[in-house]
Structure 1
């Protein structure tokens, strides 16, 4: 489908009307003022609104726009960027632009937390039995559709490419399976991580990269380096249940800081806590695509958080497993504002490249030597071949191509799942809309227990969700749950969300009748 011939760039700048779509004259609309690229973008919005270009259709290439409208490369490119920024188009690696699905009915956004009051006092964490019960129940239904995890489906990872690289590496160096790895990590991998840190806004020497078994081990090491049993650690609320398990295992108390579904941890509430409570040993935060909310801290808040912790001399532990899954891939890490080594940066490839590699790293700032000692005492060396494979993926450019494709796919899956939730869930539901990743935070109607939804969805419908009670040491999220969009959207996923929405509606009606 193409547009009919249109005036030249000079004519358009002089104020000529844009050409209508061939066969769809009604979408041409009245003449508009403004820069040429905006007027062309407005015409294509009318084209898509009228249905002449539908969701999933290929959008004309930049060169096609140049030929058809007689415009410059810069103008044609700005048309595409304008439509992409406004949510009308999505760029697919090596394929061009495609029309995005437009949201239908929407649900209210997840409520913002109260941040002006002093956070409740820290408590020892006691979630092990609760989390273990959830996991044990899930294991009894292995065939249930997983709509509660935070890891993408295996098909979305570059399995064949990784297998090929691993085979070649083992052919070159058969001893990789039998030899002991290098202290703190393989040199090529540490160099690759050092280079990639630049995209997160900071520099780190390869020698300061300590390789770990995922971000979980990195955070565990960081906490052991700066805190001891009985200490208080400030964390986001809600928080990833894996962090809560670490705090419980180390005998640490959790001070839950209200966290916005849009802007992340409340710097204001943390400041109140630092001024009011006795020593806080550390702050742990996921600044980019927080789990389970999906929030992203704006740069100004990241800078303020780093400065606040520096003023109080509190170690800031940054957990970064999701940053590269954001729709905007150029997000900065908290470490970018670190001037005195007070930020401990933890990251991982488990969510973005391959969970099976169990490959993470830590840059520990002032606590580098202690973390290195703890890592050696805890798990010695990481396997070498996964590090070689990851380093070669990065060096060849294959990793960045994979990331671009993964971000596009996850966005399509996330938006399709959100649309289905909006269609099928009852009034009173609230929905978070993160700008990246694969999780959605859902607030349920009044009186509906997410634990009850979890149990009945699993037993009656064969669907797994993550109840909100897993994400806090308190019961304040008993009415919330984490849903995920791990696989390409399908009729089966749509049907599962329809049945899940119907279950929530039944529970909401029963609660209203009590």
Structure 2
């Protein structure tokens, strides 16, 4: 056994950091060193650095913010947040920090599949035509033309939406964060599907909210009977669900199930925050959000252009319904809208038919790449490996043979050139270690086959 993997060493690192927090030398909101920095500064392995930060997270001393790193928890320190779901597992990548922001989120389509050149031309033309736009401000709700285009598309999906009902955000995670803050307080319980997006779990943790997991399956989505039972027996403040292309299972719930979901929530008086960030990536016809079947005005829909136009735009949106005033208040106090120039260029792009053509081509390309990935995994992984074909997006959920432990494999040798994530990162219960999410972002070739072969070989070694 390597010396730096000793529990005494990681506990020593963690306790020194805890002492700095409790003494006030590290204050609420302060950013902590990255995992790579902890490893280098203490001359330990990356796995030991991960264990140290996990120790601190379990005691509610630090939290991970997707894409930003680790921070000291706000408020009183040292008391772990309790809930039936237990403490959230380490919500950051066990790779070096400079790749951490990429791994938590659902895999993004390859850049060649996105309309980068078209958007670049639109932005350049807009600057030339309207140089004064550099000084243009939109207010907290965002550019009106962009909100009009978003509302038009939302209406086509069955949502009762007008431009004034939309708030433009800096990406989809900010939309989810604002929606949660509008309806909850620290310590509240939030129902989520299980497995659940690692980024979503991290957002909940950063807000001091307790995730309560409801089982979901690839075939049917959220188990509505168990949800109904939970809402009857537990004090649930809100539900945060993805009903279209959930990460990592990538199911799409049927319209009938979405109607039943909304009836259950209406009967219990529990609001729905719908994560529809990946909805546009559903293979085939674009499914409607569950909020389209709402029987009460108690829903908020969150979405983003990150996976359809590009992450660099930092552009998302929120339809907060009756919580609009509260969301605008929170938005004005916490952040500004994305660059107006970007908003105007995207609004211009959405006006024509080019966006819908792009989405159709993107969906076909992603579906083909997931089929290619399935072929490679079937060829190079153990025969007992089970694949869960996605209904959309650019990743696949894979169940390994029972004797496999993807979580241990990831800590020993993360990557193999593939941004795969073990199943334990998608739950608060430290289970799902025989699952992994693999990105389907490549066309098949020698390089892809070599990486899948290497990963499959390691899985096979665990299976015997």
The answer to whether the 8 Å contact 2:195/2:248 transfers is yes
Q: Tell me if 1:388 matches 2:350.
A: no
Q: Please identify, of 355-364 and 447-456, the stretch whose mean Cα deviation from structure 2 is larger.
A: 447-456
Pairwise CA RMSD: 2.1
1:147–1:485 contact (8 Å) kept in structure 2: no
**Whole-angstrom distance in 1 between the partners of 2:104 and 2:91:** 17
Aligned to 1:479: 434
Indicate the residue corresponding to 1:230 in structure 2. 187
CA offsets per residue over residues 286-327 of structure 1, 9 Å max, x none? Answer: 100100001111111101111111111101000111111111
Aligned to 2:303, the other structure's residue is in SS state strand
Q: So what's the TM-score if we normalise by structure 1?
A: 0.71
Instruction: Give 1:135 shift.
Output: 4.2
1:436 to 392, 401, 409: 392
For residues 158 and 411 of structure 1, the distance between their equivalents in structure 2, rounded to whole angstroms, comes to 18
State whether structure 2 residue 126 is matched by structure 1 residue 126.
no
Say if 2:383 is the partner of 1:423: no
Three-state SS of the structure 1 residue aligned to 2:338 is coil
Secondary structure of 2:398's partner?
Answer: strand
2:96 to 105, 120, 136: 136
Q: Does 1:177 align with 2:134?
A: yes
1:41-60 to 2 correspondences below 5 Å = none
Q: Which residue of 2 aligns with 1:314?
A: 270
| In structure 2, C-alpha distance between the alignment counterparts of 1:356 and 1:303, rounded to whole Å | 35
- Give the alignment partner of residue 355 of structure 1, picking from 303, 311, 323: 311
Match of residue 11 from structure 1? none
The Cα shift of 1:148 comes to 9.1
Q: TM-score, normalised by structure 2?
A: 0.78
Structure 2 match to 1:101: none
Aligned counterpart, 1:454: 410
Report Cα offsets for 1:83-103 as digits up to 9, x if no partner. Answer: xxxxxxxxxxxxxxxxxxxxx
* 1:55-100: CA deviation from partner (whole Å, max 9, x where unpaired): xxxxxxxxxxxxxxxxxxxxxxxxxxxxxxxxxxxxxxxxxxxxxx
Query: C-alpha distance in 1, partners of 2:148/2:123?
Result: 19
**Equivalent-residue separation in structure 2 for 1:148 and 1:168 (angstroms):** 32
One of 290, 299, 302 as aligned partner of 1:334: 290
Matches within 5 A, 1:269-348: 269-277=226-234, 279-348=235-304
1:149 offset after TM fit, Å? 5.2
Name the residue aligned to 1:41.
none
Contact 1:148 1:482 in 2 (8 A): no
Q: How does 1:92-131 map to 2 (within 5 A)?
A: 122-123=84-85, 125-127=87-89, 130-131=90-91
Cα deviation, 1:115-154, whole Å, max 9, x if unaligned, reads xxxxx96335433xx23352437749x9xxx899511111
Residue aligned with 1:195, SS = helix
* Aligned equivalent of 1:152, options 104, 109, 119: 109
**Which residue does 2:54 correspond to in 1?**
none
Mapped to 1, the partners of 2:298 and 2:386 lie a distance apart of 37
CA distance in 1, matches of 2:95, 2:233: 37
User: For 1:182-201, what aligned pairs fall within 5 Å after superposition?
Assistant: 182-201=139-158
State the distance in 2 between where 1:385 and 1:147 align. 28
Deviation at 1:375, TM superposition (A): 1.0
Compute the displacement of 1:402 (Å). Answer: 1.1
* Change over 3 Å in CA distance of 1:147–1:470 after alignment to 2: closer
Query: Matched residue of 1:501: which SS?
Result: helix
Tell me which structure has the larger Cα radius of gyration.
1
**1:214 and 2:176 matched:** no
Q: Does 1:470 align with 2:425?
A: yes
1:354–1:326 CA distance, 2 compared to 1 (3 A) = same
> Partners in 1 of 2:200 and 2:162 — Cα distance?
27
Q: Is the 8 A contact 2:262 2:295 kept in 1?
A: no
Check the 8 A contact 2:191/2:214 in 1, yes or no. yes
Aligned pair in 2 of structure 1 residues 421, 484: CA closer, same or farther (>3 Å)?
Answer: same
The separation in 2 between residues aligned to 1:184 and 1:131, in whole angstroms, is 30
Distance 1:150 1:463, change over 3 A: closer
Deviations 1:205-224 (A, max 9, x none): 10110101111111101111
How many equivalent residue pairs? 382
Please say if residues 309 and 316 of structure 1, whose CA atoms lie closer than 8 Å, have aligned partners that are also in contact. Answer: yes
Unmatched 5+ stretches in structure 1: 1-119, 510-514
Quote the Cα distance in structure 2 between the aligned partners of 1:337 and 1:147: 30
2:452 is aligned to 497
Superposed, 1:367-406 pairs within 5 Å as 367-406=323-362
2:32 aligned partner: none
The residue that corresponds to 1:9 in the other structure is none
Change (3 A) 1:125 1:250: farther
Structure 1 residue 457, shift from structure 2 partner: 4.7
